[in-house]
Amino acid sequence: MAKTIRIGSGSAWWGDRVEPAIINAERGNLDYLCFETMAEATVSAAQVRSRRDPSFPGYDTYLDDRMRAVLPICMRQGIRIVSNQGWINPKGAAQRIVELLREAGVTGVKVAAVTGSLITDRVLDLTDTILENGASTKSLASSLISAEAYMGAEPIVEALRNGAQIVVTGRVADPSIFLAPMMYEFGWDPSDHDRIGAGSGLGHLLECGAQVTGGYFSDPGFKDVDEPWNFGFPIAEVSPDGSAILTKAPGTGGAVNLLTVKEQCLYEVHDPANYITPDVVVDFSSVKIEEVGPDRVRVSNLRGKPRTPTLKVSIGCTEGYIGEDMFFYAGPGALRRARLAKKILEERFKIVKLDAEDIRIDFLGLNAIHGDATPADAPEPYEIAVRVAARTKTREEAMKVGREVDGMAVSGVGHTGKRVPHQDRTREVIGVWSSLVPREHVDAAVTYYES
């Protein structure tokens, strides 16, 4: 059993920066580097893209960038990689990593793909109720794109036990990616609720990357951090009892202190005493957080409760289209002109018979965030952007938004600033619903490849 292990974050979401992962690999003295690249809608969006583009491989579109950046360093230093970059095609991702290893001249490395989370073909038979509205999941049959259950750490542990240096998964709960190395290295039993709860709690602190090192935290004049353009991603020095010291690589910006750790500890946690994951129900209510040095925070006394008999399932469905565009006014009278432009568009949408479920015309810089809650005496802006959006059932209706905004260029209000619409102004809407499935109906499988 290892005395301590060092686990570093490599990413917090699909679009995250690559440089902090390189820094963690180079300077973090790591045993494991873990990449989290999925959001709730990632799998559904990947399925939609796969339907439109047969050449799309189905895994993280930045897989090559990330792996090319860290593979040589990690293989040279013996750092293992755990990642959910497999999205809807973990086997394809694993095979691509093998190709990248061979390109780098690295052979004899075992790469594992964890599959089993996609249950699209069975979800309506395995689930009953939509958690958000209480309706039957069968009501989603006509719009269903994908369904994936949140699997836990155990199949990753299996892969590590069988010698995998790199493990790539599909939908696995974010904390589980970080928990698995702890379970493997310390020999934790899956039924040891306190150890698994502690590990999952630490995984929650690590999963959002820079959010625990000052990212999405800094507020100038109130919560200042050094070099917010150079955030380091977190590193956890984990002990066999489930306690850990959170830190970051030397020479990086941001901060690891009581404030950053406490904020991330409660981030997206609805009930701190009952944070449900596939592996355990984490209890944060007893946690002890203490600064033990510069950019070093000790986290201990995390607890756990028995895991639930069900797993959460995210069900992605098509829900129509959004048409969106914007134009601009500046100088004295900008708001007066924007209000007339709004009236013009409202009347134009009637004339062209726009069939929309919802229409919004917002003034960015005045009321786009707070809407009706915007104070009546809010200061008048010197410049303003008019954002126009409509939600429709068909792409053809959504396209009417851009066409009418185009008309504002010469048939609208004086001094209208119009951007050139090089980008697609319509997009498909993917709705994500939730349900529960008995965990015994979700079977993980591990496939191995070698460079």
pLDDT number for residue 1 = 67
Q: At 297, phi and psi to the nearest 5? A: -125, 125
Beta carbons within 10 angstroms of residue 399's beta carbon: 16
- Eight-state DSSP code of residue 12: S
Burial of 325 (0-12, 13-18, 19+ CB in 10 A): buried
Overall size of the chain counted in residues = 451
Which residues, in sequence order, are bridge partners of residue 168? Answer: 83, 113
Residue 255: the pLDDT is: 97
- Name which of 372, 424, 433 is nearest 402 in CA terms: 424
320: left (phi over 0), alpha (psi -120 to 50) or beta: left
Contact 315, 435 (CB under 8 A): yes
Place of tokens 């959010």: 211
Can you read off the two tokens belonging to residue 169?
Answer: 């998964």
d(CA 366, CA 382): 10
Cα–Cα dist 352/339, whole Å: 20
Residues of the chain scoring pLDDT < 50: none
Find all residues with CB under 8 Å of 429, minimum gap 6, and list them: 318, 319, 320, 321, 322, 391
Q: What is the pLDDT of residue 39?
A: 85
Q: Is 353 exposed, middle or buried (0-12, 13-18, 19+ CB in 10 A)?
A: exposed
Determine which helix (DSSP H) or strand (DSSP E) holds 343, and give its type and residue range.
Answer: helix 334-351
Q: Which residue has the tokens 């630490």?
A: 202
Closest CA to 177 of 195, 197, 204: 204
For residues 404 and 416, give the distance between their C-alpha atoms in angstroms, rounded to a whole number: 14
Q: Are strands 417-418 and 383-392 parallel, antiparallel or unpaired?
A: unpaired
Distance CA 25, CA 401 (A): 47
**Gap between the terminal Cα atoms of the chain:** 28
Residue 350 · residue 325 · CB < 8 Å: no
- Which residue is it, tokens 């052979």? 107
Q: What pLDDT is recorded for position 169?
A: 98
- Contact in structure between 10 and 34 (CB atoms under 8 Å): yes
The pTM for the full model equals 0.93
Specify the DSSP element, H or E, that contains 390: strand 383-392
Q: What is the pLDDT of residue 51?
A: 81
Give residue 420's pLDDT: 77
Domains, the chain = 5-116+151-308 (no CATH), 315-433 (3.30.70.2750)
- Cα–Cα distances (Å) from 332 to 180, 335, 338, in that order, read 59, 8, 12
**C-alpha–C-alpha distance, residues 137 and 131, integer Å:** 9
Q: Are 121 and 142 in contact (CB under 8 A)?
A: no
Count, in order, helices (H) and strands (E) of the chain.
11, 19
Residue with tokens 């494991």: 32
Nearest Cα to Cα of residue 404 among 334, 339, 342: 342
In 212-342, where do the E strands start and end?
234-238, 244-248, 275-276, 281-283, 288-293, 296-300, 303-305, 310-330
Contact 44, 68 (CB under 8 A): no
434 CB contacts (<8 Å, ≥6 apart)? 130, 131, 132, 312, 313, 314, 315
Residue 401: what pLDDT? 97
Residues 125 and 132: beta-carbon distance below 8 Å? no
pLDDT computed for residue 89 by the predictor: 96
